[in-house]
Amino acid sequence: MTQKKNPHLRLAKPVDMDKLKQAARHRKKGKLKTGTIITVLAIMIVAGTLLLVKNHSYTRVIKAAAYTNETEDNNRYVQFTGGIVRYSRDGIVFLNRKNEEQWIQPCQMKTPVIDVNKDVFAVADSGGNSILVFTEDGLKGEIDTSLPIEKISVSNQGIVSAILKNEDTPRIVSYDAAGNILVEHRVTSGKTGYPLSLDMSRDGTMLAVSYLSTEGESMKSKVAYYNFGTEGKSRTDNEVSMKEYDGVIIPEVYFMDDSTSVAVSDSSFTIYKGKDTPRKEKTVKIDQEIQSTFHTDKYIGFTLLNKDKSGYEARLYDKSGRKVMNKAFKGEYSNIKMAGGEIIMFDGTRCCIITKNGIQRFSGHLKTNALEIIPSWGINRYLVINANELRVIYLAK
């Protein structure tokens, strides 16, 4: 039989490899584009959810966990590195975030006061003669002073500067952590004024001191800077800068970083710039009554009496003196600090939390008398410490 030809059959054309490769590349690009779009959408959804949660206002707290530790009623607490320092007249204890004791340093102090830097903290007996310097690992050094201690400041290297009381001739003495005197400055109250406040730069090379003097009925404040490095060696008493202010009291000076410091008066604050020789850069007037001050390495903070209506205001400035946030709130709080980008205010069971962007995240009761509040890992989570317990709470509607 004769085989019939199929009219629908055609000879295959030669394969074009370049077109196949191009098609494969297009498919690969399409998949990559789709995957990128999905990833971006997922990130946007997560970021939007986090933003919504962080910008929401809450009025209740829920206890997620509790860690008890029976202690004395006279304990005080402060956040330090990844843990918590508990200090009292009988000793200093470093706790982890489950209220477990990591180390204990017994001591006897009538009135313990603490100063905390990034990696070092110091506890002094106000009115006494003892200063203890610590790191996260425990005791770094002990210092015995010849005169009663009024105030201290510790650098991140463990150098401690102290105002020592001595009637009309107080002394400002700087020690290393082993107790050796590095610099001693005798103050003549009639000439310089009486030292009110001091603070050391984190690297330990600069010391800022505010003085107050009176002449008849007039009042005068001075802000002095002492450089313990190369720049100050050729200067009398290591003094590299001194600025006078007539008619004001400057009860607080502090460093924000090694080249930015702030002097706070009763109606203004002045920003100084310069690592070796700080110079006055800007003075900002505060047009309302200052109730309290706080700061971080980024922000200068105040709580102010609200002049237009009842209540108070929380206000933040940046390092340049620019106002970046102003938020009204109600109630008085004896404890005010800034941590984790939030202003945390508490008094007994009452608490108010305001973000650096002016969002009131929480206003309500904690269901316990708080001695310290620390932002915790996770969303809306905080550590609340009372006399015998560390609670993990989260904010709720």
Q: CB of 354 within 8 A of CB of 343?
A: yes
- Predicted pLDDT at 1: 47
CA–CA gap between residue 364 and residue 367 (Å, rounded): 9
Cα separations (Å) of 45 from 35, 39, 41?
Answer: 15, 10, 6
Q: What is the pLDDT of residues 151-210, one digit of tens each?
A: 999 999 999 999 999 988 899 999 999 999 999 998 887 788 999 999 999 999 999 999
CA–CA gap between residue 297 and residue 9 (Å, rounded): 81
- Predicted pLDDT at 257: 95
Own/partner long-range contacts of 339-346 (Cβ < 8 Å, ≥24 apart):
339/79, 339/296, 339/374, 339/375, 340/375, 342/375, 343/294, 343/301, 343/314, 343/316, 344/373, 344/375, 345/303, 345/314, 346/370, 346/373
- Predicted pLDDT at 7: 54
- Predicted pLDDT at 170: 93
Q: CB of 94 within 8 A of CB of 83?
A: yes
As a whole number of Å, the CA-based R_g of the chain is 30
Cα separations (Å) of 43 from 23, 47, 264?
Answer: 30, 6, 43
Stretch (H or E) spanning 65: strand 60-68
Please give the mean pLDDT across all residues of the chain: 89
Q: What is the pLDDT of residues 316-328, one digit of tens each?
A: 999 999 999 999 9
Would the pLDDT of 394 be above 50? yes
Cα separations (Å) of 286 from 50, 197, 290, 304, 315?
Answer: 35, 20, 8, 9, 10
Tokens of 300: 């200068």
Q: CB of 183 within 8 A of CB of 205?
A: no
Mean pLDDT check: name the lowest of 159-163, 230-234, 273-277: 230-234
Tokens of 42: 């997922």
Query: What is 84-333's CATH topology?
Result: Methylamine Dehydrogenase; Chain H (2.130.10)
Mean pLDDT check: name the lowest of 3-7, 241-245, 284-288: 3-7
When pLDDT is cut at 50, 70 and 90, the band that residue 310 belongs to is confident
Q: What is the pLDDT of residues 193-222, one digit of tens each?
A: 999 999 999 999 999 999 999 877 889 999
Q: CB of 238 within 8 A of CB of 276?
A: no
Would the pLDDT of 42 be above 80? no
Q: What is the pLDDT of residues 329-338, one digit of tens each?
A: 999 999 999 9
- Predicted pLDDT at 218: 86
User: For residue 304, what are the contacts with CB-CB under 8 A and spacing of at least 6?
Assistant: 286, 288, 289, 290, 291, 312, 313, 314, 315
- Predicted pLDDT at 167: 82
- Predicted pLDDT at 52: 47
Q: What is the DSSP letter of 233?
A: H
What average pLDDT score do residues 341-365 get? 97
User: For residue 7, what are the contacts with CB-CB under 8 A and spacing of at least 6?
Assistant: none
CA–CA gap between residue 80 and residue 120 (Å, rounded): 9
Q: Which residue has the higher pLDDT, 232 or 138?
A: 138
Would the pLDDT of 296 be above 90? yes
Would the pLDDT of 81 be above 70? yes
Cβ-count burial 243-266 (b if 16+ within 10 Å, e if not) = bebeebbbebbbbbebebbbbbbe
pTM for this one? Answer: 0.85
What average pLDDT score do residues 264-280 get? 96
Question: What percent of the chain is predicted at pLDDT more than 90?
Answer: 75
Question: What percent of the chain is predicted at pLDDT more than 70?
Answer: 86
